[in-house]
Amino acid sequence: MGKKMREKIKEYMSRLEDGIRALTPADLEQFLRFRRYFRNYSIFNTMLIYMQRPNATLVAGMKKWNSLGRRVRKGERAIWIFVPWFKKIEVKVESETDSDSEKKETKTEEVLKGFIMRPVWDVSQTEGEPLPEDLAPLPAPEVKGNVSLKELYHRLIETSPVPVKETSLPYNEYGFAVVRGEKHIQINNAHDLKTKIVTLFHELAHIETPEKVKGREEKDVIAETVAYILAGMYGIDNLKGSAVYLGMFESRPIEFMEYVVGIVERISDRVGDMADYRMVENF
Ligand SMILES: [Zn+2]
C-alpha cells in the first residue's frame, strides 16, 4: 500500500470518527433515512458516503457505471469508501480420516488483510443510458406518520422476538424487559397508546442490545436513543423522551451507533413498514 493511500485512509478514518462523535440522535434519525439507500454497505461506509455526498442515492465504481452505459461527468469529485483487501494464502489442511498421516493437503484461503479506499460516484454525477429498472431511483423516504398507532402497536407485539404482556404496574413505571432466562417484556396497561409504543420500542431495544454492553446506564442510553429514533420515524411525539440519555449518546463509543442503527433497522424491518432496499454490486 502506497504512502499516499495510507495517508488518505488515516485522514478519512479520523474524519469519520469525528463525524460520528458529533452525531446527535436527531442527526442519527436523518442518517437512518439516508441509510435506507445503502443498506448493503457497512455503517461506516454509509457514513462516509453521507459525509461526502448527503444527497447520494446510488453509488458505484467507474467500471460498474461504464458497464451500465454511463459515464462519470468530467470534474465530478469521487466519493471515497473503504473496501476490504483480501490476500490469497495457501493453508495446510490436515486430513480428517487419519491425522497421523504425513500427507498434508493445501487449500487457498482468502484472508482479510485490511482496507483500502476506492472511489465511487453517485448516480447524479453520471450521465448516459437510462438506469435498468431494478436500479431506478427509490421514492423519497417518508415519515411514517400515517401508520395507525393501533396497528403499529399490534405489529410490534406480533413480531417481537419475545412475548409481550400488558400488566398492571405502579403508575410511574412504564414497563420492563427481562433479558435473561425466560425473556419477555411487560408494558404497563395504565398508559396511553403512544406511551405504550414508545415504551415497547425501549424494551425491545433492551432485548436486542448485545450482551457485551455492560452497565444499566449504557444500556438505557442505547434503548432511549432507539426509542427516540423509532418514535421520530413513525411520527410519534416522544413526550417521555429522556433528554438526559439522548445527551449522553454523543459521548459514547462508536460501537453505540452501530448498535442503535442495527436495532432500529431490525425492529422497523420486522414491523414491515420500512421501504425495501436494493442491492447494488459495488464494483
Ligand atoms: Zn431501560
Ligand 1 centre distance from Cα of residue 245 (Å): 10
What is the Cβ-side half-sphere exposure of residue 58, based on CA atoms within 13 angstroms?
Answer: 19
CA of 205 to the centre of ligand 1 (A): 8
Quote the mean pLDDT of the chain: 82
List the Cα angle 203/208/209 in 5-degree steps.
Answer: 95
- pLDDT value at 209 more than 90: yes
What's the pLDDT at 98? 57
Residue extents of the structural domains in the chain: 3-87+114-135, 149-271
pLDDT for residue 271: 82
Per-residue confidence band for 83, with pLDDT thresholds at 50, 70 and 90? confident
For residue 282, pLDDT beyond 70: no
> Between 188 and 95, whose confidence is greater?
188
Cell of 12: 478519512
CA distance 136 to 278: 10
Query: Which residues, by Cβ under 5 Å, contact ligand 1, an ion?
Result: 220, 223
Query: What is the distance in A from the centroid of ligand 1 to the CA of 216?
Result: 8
Q: How far apart are CA 119 and CA 137, in angstroms?
A: 21
pTM of the model: 0.70
In the chain, the percentage of residues whose pLDDT exceeds 90 is: 38
Confidence band of 275 (pLDDT split at 50, 70, 90):
very low
Grid cell 442518517 in the structure block, residue: 31
Residues sharing a CB contact under 8 Å with residue 251, sequence separation 6 or more, in sequence order: 21
Among candidates 213, 224, 220, 226, which has minimal Cα distance to 253?
213
Q: List the one residue out of 165, 71, 60, 175 whose CA is nearest residue 121.
A: 60
229 Cα: distance to centroid of ligand 1 (angstroms): 15
Distance 112 CA to ligand 1 centre (A): 38
Range of 43-57, 142-156, 239-253 with top mean pLDDT:
43-57
* Residue 117 alpha carbon to ligand 1 centre in Å: 39
Please tell me the distance between residue 146's alpha carbon and the centre of ligand 1 in angstroms: 27
Which carries the bigger pLDDT value, residue 158 or residue 137? 158
The rounded Cα 110 to chain-centroid distance in angstroms is 26
Residue 259 CA to ligand 1 center (angstroms) comes to: 15
- Residue 240: pLDDT band (50, 70, 90) is low
